[in-house]
Structure 1
Amino acid sequence: MKKSQVWEVDHTLDDHKTSASDGGPKSDVDKAAVADVSDLLETPEEKKARKRSHWVAYITMFVMSIGYSIVLTGVWPYLKIINGSLDKEALGWVVAANPFGQMIASPLLGWWGNKAGSIRGACITTIICFIFGNALYSCLYGIKNPETAYYVMIFARFVVGVSSGNVTLCRSYLAASTTQKERTAGISIVAAAQALGFVVGPVIQAVLTVTVTETSGNGAFTWDKYTSAGWVAAILGLINVVIMLPCVFQEYPIAVKEQALVNKNDGNEKPLKLPKPDYLGIGGILFAFFFVLFIYVLLEALAEPFVTDMYAVTDDYAMVAVGIALAGAGLVCVGGFIGTTRLAKIYDERKLLIFLGLIPEVIGTCLYIPMGNTPIQMSNCSDTGPPEIFSNTSLMMADFTLPTFPPYGSFYSSLLREDSVDSEGCTLGCPTNQEWCLTVPQSSLAQVLVAFIITMSAYPVVNGLTQAIFSKMLGPRPQGLWMGVLTGVGSFARVTGPIFVSYVYSRLGTYYCFGILSVGMVLSLIEICLLYKRIVPMKIPRYNEGIDNKIAEDEV
């Protein structure tokens, strides 16, 4: 019989098998492959080293995410110190500079990794940029001109963003160094590392806010609760450079070996030309990935000014409160990624994406829309005495979130005092230039907490599964450039999120802000449902006996 090329769905949503197409292994090689294909492709020592290399990728992803998030809650008060004439719109451009740099660099770094056949050189180069950018951010007190300091801050964040484009390399390496059976777990863990970095950053800033109570040094080498965040990130970067050295990190692209084994078992060792990806299905996955990351990043960027506006508290208090909340969210995310990995072995990943990810995200996002009737406490710049009215929600938040206890009781008391004034002598609350605060009700603490818990619980499901499905839809090809596209989409979400906060939130308010987000999540849910049958792993070409060319062409 003549051999011909046919198409079969590689059911990687189920347990991976490299058996013959008739459903039963035809050789001892097949029988072993059904158990664990990696045992046929590497020695136990090589497998151990490959797993160790995965941890290097996870740590790199974690550190790069910290570089973005560690300054999020502290950048606004820091910015007001170096240039007191700026408003929240200026904050948006500072925060957006980081993901903008990542968006530009990600495809280029993916291409670099593909061409070099190794990610080490690109990773070490970008981590050095990471160290430089964070150190520059911490030296802004040495710039005397406030306007220049503002633009240097934007440049420093842009450099850190360019460096964090190496998350593309981490994703592509995980796709290349895992078997089909391992891929969902590998991609989910690397997504968890990124999410954990996003939440640990604000936690570090919160800890520094509590512990760094005095300023030391002067000029460019000032150490305080804001500049210390940049120095901590730079130190983490130095550690990351060390673990990227050849004595620790070695690369093992097992995916190519796995596909070669599949071809050999089918009776043909000649490499097969892979089909083009399903661009419509991939586009749907990217759209959902964009919106869930957009919401996640927006909540991080919006958290500090939102808390100060809604509940009339100080910047320091907001940083600590947000840090505690995000720490809890980090634990939820880690648990969510672990749970998703295990559930994906039992249930269809697409169903998990819809019912445990997108639907809860829609519900949680809608719950952020204000529904009460309590007025927002407005800032008063003509009277520096205590505000006349404080909402019950504000007091409840203070009591619930930050109890006073040794050894920082006096510090917390200073954060919670209700008669505090800002640097311009205005009482706390929503600034008068945000006129929507006069007509929009306050978001109750209970409502915000429920919405926060739901969205943070659903985030790891959507984030991890969209990345895993995306990788499987690409098939066993070098994925550096494609992962650059995925990272670029995520970066675009992190660019537009802070700018969205700056303009939509500050000018139009919470109704428009969370209303638009809710519409976006509903659209994501609808398009994933419509594309349900297309978001499947790539149909891998296989060689089989006894099927003529006409049947093969019909199945294509």
Structure 2
Amino acid sequence: MYIVAFSEAFSNSIILTSMWSYLKYMDDDVETTVMGQLTGMQGLLALVSCIACGSVSSRIGCKIPLIITSIAALGSNIVYVIPYHIESQQITLVYISRALAGISGGCLAIARVYLSVGTTILERTTATSHFVAAQMLGYTVGPVLQMAYVPIGEEGFAISTMSLNVYTLPAVTNTLLVSLTLVCIFILFKEVHVDDITTSEITRLKQVEDSASVEESSVEKVSWFSGLDIVVTVFLNLLFAATVFTFGVKSTVAAPYGMHILGWSRQLATRNFSMIMFTLAGLAIFVVMILGKTSKLIDERVSLSIGMVLTIISSVLLIPFGPGPLERPTIDVNGTSANNGEGGCPWKYSWCDSTPAMPVAQYVTALSIQGFGYPMLQSTAFFIYAKTLQPKHQGLCMGVFSAMGNIGRLTGSLYGGYAYFKYGVQWAFGSSCIIISTMGIGIILLYPRLIPYTERKKQKDKYEEECYL
């Protein structure tokens, strides 16, 4: 499952870092709304795929759904290369590629289901931290390879009839990695199932009373675990969606943000965005591994709260506050932009007139804080959620949890692209900051209830014992 998590994250990160430049290469008039639609459509199909895969995995096992999602990932990368070799319907083919990538995203729900049913509650934090770390490693390696491909340029070189360049090499690399993942699924993957309510525990309960009353007592004891704290379950799903939403807004407009707000060229935006993704993923791996090691020393609710505060601060710092106005591109003698909007905020965006500049130091500070806050918030929410569920609910609930992440990606991408294009960076980041801050209030209100289901059982049993006495 760690290989699956790494492969999915790597495939997304290496494509995402250059996709905006790829779109601009095919059509220089393309707007950020197209970028939002592409990533949004991927999120929508991933949402459906996660729910379906989570539900199916709990019924027929994880292996077959993993194979299907891996085949979809192969198709996605193959289609992504085609637009470079033809002159018509290029953007349409990118849409098809992202649709297949969305279907392949169901593999994360399958992996979460397997981690939940294949571990005890004591093992779950360590297993899930390794799972998240594998994802973050994928987000690290992907941008590094994208940076390595930048010197190859847009022209690249040819092997037989295939042209390989800075945009097509990532998809070719993904194809090789997904193929390796498929081989590992066929050869190495074996399914196991571990119950948190062990046979020895049920046997102990049966020894308490005679055979007639034991059955009733055991059923009562075990059936209590079928109960969910609905409020906590819904909140954690919404929290995960809101967290991914804010990240979706930031990642969708990151390359245009660098070009328009910080004045980067198209090639510089690709390189710098790759470096940013690499650095953030490296920080995320460090944070997740520390969380896994300190889970027995620090209450996970404390880590969740710290992650929320850091995420809010980073969101606020990404809003430009000045000093001075934004730079505009130079206008040539024909009255058009001399650099096609690169190196300044395009004249076609009216919001550029009222948007202040962004110091690079503020941008770096915001991203540094995000590098600690986002993985802490996301991974701890996953840790807590996995522990609040009884094993029989893991399949569907993990599918829903993964789907909520894709809802966040979908809405964040669509909203980020539209809000940035229509109203500007202040509106895009300001509104997402409000949303994530609202979820922070929810953490405060539900703090006492964010506990494992076994702890809830102990509290319930103690309460019933006190009432009986």
What TM-score do you get using the length of structure 1 for normalisation? 0.76
Partner of 2:191: 251
User: In the TM superposition, what is the alpha-carbon distance from 1:344 to its structure 2 partner?
Assistant: 1.5
The one-character-per-residue Cα deviations of 1:92-133 (angstroms, maximum 9, x if unpaired) are: 1112222221111111111111110x2111101110110111
Larger Rg over CA atoms: 1
User: In the TM superposition, what is the alpha-carbon distance from 1:296 to its structure 2 partner?
Assistant: 2.3
Partner of 2:108: 167
User: In the TM superposition, what is the alpha-carbon distance from 1:427 to its structure 2 partner?
Assistant: 5.8
Given that 1:475 and 1:537 are in contact with CA atoms closer than 8 Å, whether structure 2 keeps it comes out as no
Given that 1:192 and 1:464 are in contact with CA atoms closer than 8 Å, whether structure 2 keeps it comes out as no
Instruction: Call closer, same or farther: CA 1:85–1:369 in 2, change over 3 Å.
Output: closer
Match of 2:321 among 367, 371, 380: 371
**Structure 1: unaligned runs, 5 residues or longer:** 1-56, 388-420
Instruction: Call closer, same or farther: CA 1:427–1:109 in 2, change over 3 Å.
Output: closer
The one-character-per-residue Cα deviations of 1:380-422 (angstroms, maximum 9, x if unpaired) are: 343599x9xxxxxxxxxxxxxxxxxxxxxxxxxxxxxxxxx54
Given that 2:259 and 2:342 are in contact with CA atoms closer than 8 Å, whether structure 1 keeps it comes out as no
Please tell me the residue identity of whatever aligns with 1:300.
S
**Structure 2: unaligned runs, 5 residues or longer:** 208-214
Q: How does 1:257-336 map to 2 (within 5 A)?
A: 259-267=198-206, 272-273=222-223, 274-336=225-287
Please tell me the residue identity of whatever aligns with 2:280.
A
Question: Matched residues in 1 for 2:51 and 2:104: separation?
Answer: 13
Instruction: Call closer, same or farther: CA 1:427–1:296 in 2, change over 3 Å.
Output: closer
Partner of 2:8: 64
| Secondary structure of residue in 2 paired with 1:209 | helix
Please tell me the residue identity of whatever aligns with 1:530.
L
Match of 2:52 among 108, 113, 117: 108
Given that 1:380 and 1:427 are in contact with CA atoms closer than 8 Å, whether structure 2 keeps it comes out as no
User: In the TM superposition, what is the alpha-carbon distance from 1:350 to its structure 2 partner?
Assistant: 1.0
Instruction: Call closer, same or farther: CA 1:178–1:306 in 2, change over 3 Å.
Output: same
Partner of 2:211: none
Given that 2:248 and 2:416 are in contact with CA atoms closer than 8 Å, whether structure 1 keeps it comes out as no
Instruction: Find out whether 1:493 has 2:433 as its counterpart.
Output: no
User: In the TM superposition, what is the alpha-carbon distance from 1:379 to its structure 2 partner?
Assistant: 2.0
Instruction: Find out whether 1:230 has 2:230 as its counterpart.
Output: no
Match of 1:538 among 416, 441, 453: 453
Partner of 1:447: 362
Instruction: Find out whether 1:125 has 2:52 as its counterpart.
Output: no
Given that 1:344 and 1:352 are in contact with CA atoms closer than 8 Å, whether structure 2 keeps it comes out as no
Question: Matched residues in 2 for 1:77 and 1:168: separation?
Answer: 30
Question: Matched residues in 1 for 2:91 and 2:155: separation?
Answer: 24
Question: Matched residues in 2 for 1:383 and 1:209: separation?
Answer: 32
What TM-score do you get using the length of structure 2 for normalisation? 0.90
Moved more, 428-437 or 158-167: 428-437
The one-character-per-residue Cα deviations of 1:204-247 (angstroms, maximum 9, x if unpaired) are: 222211345642339983211101111111111001001111x3
Please tell me the residue identity of whatever aligns with 1:93.
Q
Please tell me the residue identity of whatever aligns with 1:362.
I
User: In the TM superposition, what is the alpha-carbon distance from 1:554 to its structure 2 partner?
Assistant: 5.5
Question: Matched residues in 1 for 2:94 and 2:412: separation?
Answer: 19
Question: Matched residues in 1 for 2:57 and 2:50: separation?
Answer: 11
Instruction: Find out whether 1:80 has 2:24 as its counterpart.
Output: yes
Instruction: Call closer, same or farther: CA 1:198–1:294 in 2, change over 3 Å.
Output: farther
Instruction: Call closer, same or farther: CA 1:73–1:381 in 2, change over 3 Å.
Output: farther
Question: Matched residues in 1 for 2:296 and 2:157: separation?
Answer: 53
Instruction: Call closer, same or farther: CA 1:537–1:103 in 2, change over 3 Å.
Output: same
Instruction: Find out whether 1:382 has 2:321 as its counterpart.
Output: no
Instruction: Call closer, same or farther: CA 1:85–1:443 in 2, change over 3 Å.
Output: closer
Q: How does 1:84-95 map to 2 (within 5 A)?
A: 84-95=28-39
Q: How does 1:453-464 map to 2 (within 5 A)?
A: 453-464=368-379
Instruction: Call closer, same or farther: CA 1:304–1:85 in 2, change over 3 Å.
Output: closer
Give 1 or 2: higher helix fraction.
2
Question: Matched residues in 1 for 2:326 and 2:362: separation?
Answer: 15
Please tell me the residue identity of whatever aligns with 2:48.
I
Instruction: Call closer, same or farther: CA 1:287–1:220 in 2, change over 3 Å.
Output: farther
Match of 1:197 among 134, 138, 144: 138
Percent same amino acid at aligned positions?
24
| Secondary structure of residue in 2 paired with 1:138 | helix
Given that 2:320 and 2:358 are in contact with CA atoms closer than 8 Å, whether structure 1 keeps it comes out as yes
Please tell me the residue identity of whatever aligns with 2:356.
P
Question: Matched residues in 1 for 2:126 and 2:333: separation?
Answer: 57
Question: Matched residues in 2 for 1:460 and 1:275: separation?
Answer: 30
**Cα RMSD after superposing both structures:** 2.7
| Secondary structure of residue in 2 paired with 1:378 | coil
Instruction: Give aligned pairs, total.
Output: 454
Given that 1:213 and 1:224 are in contact with CA atoms closer than 8 Å, whether structure 2 keeps it comes out as yes
| Secondary structure of residue in 2 paired with 1:479 | helix
